[in-house]
Amino acid sequence: MKITLKKITEQNKRECFALKVSPAQSEYIASNEGSWKEAQENNDVARPFVIYADEKMVGFTMFAWDENNEDPEDKYWLWRFMIDQSLQGQGYGHAALKEIIQYFRDNHADIITLSTKPGNKNTLSLYHQFGFKENGEMNDGEVVLKLYL
């Protein structure tokens, strides 16, 4: 399976907005449409992408890329990451996270920061598999994790 991150366009935006997590997961992540709107409001740092497996749209991700931030621990964030509910448990999340981390490496990031709610056990498990570790900080009620590249 070849994972690619593609920019959101007028042609793929509607399909991206239709991707959803399960109702039980919806408390953990904003909708893709809401994230897209947030990206428009923060276009100086937000990098939203649609996740494709081969030619099939499977998810959405968004990064915060703030190279002007003077705190090296706070420059590169994985803001959003989701795989459509109908495709979870099929290896797409694992493959996509591997590609996301490679994107950060290819673009010279040295630390990836993210946060998630403590109850988001499956996602936390996935992040731990890739070496993300909690650093003891909280961000708006979410645990902060970092991966040092």
Please write the tens of the pLDDT for every residue from 24-45.
888 888 899 999 999 999 999 9
Report field, pTM of the whole predicted structure over 0.95: no
Q: Which residues on adjacent β-strands are paired with residue 38? A: none
Phi/psi for 129 (5° steps) reads -60, -30
Tens of pLDDT, residues 124-142: 999 999 999 999 999 989 9
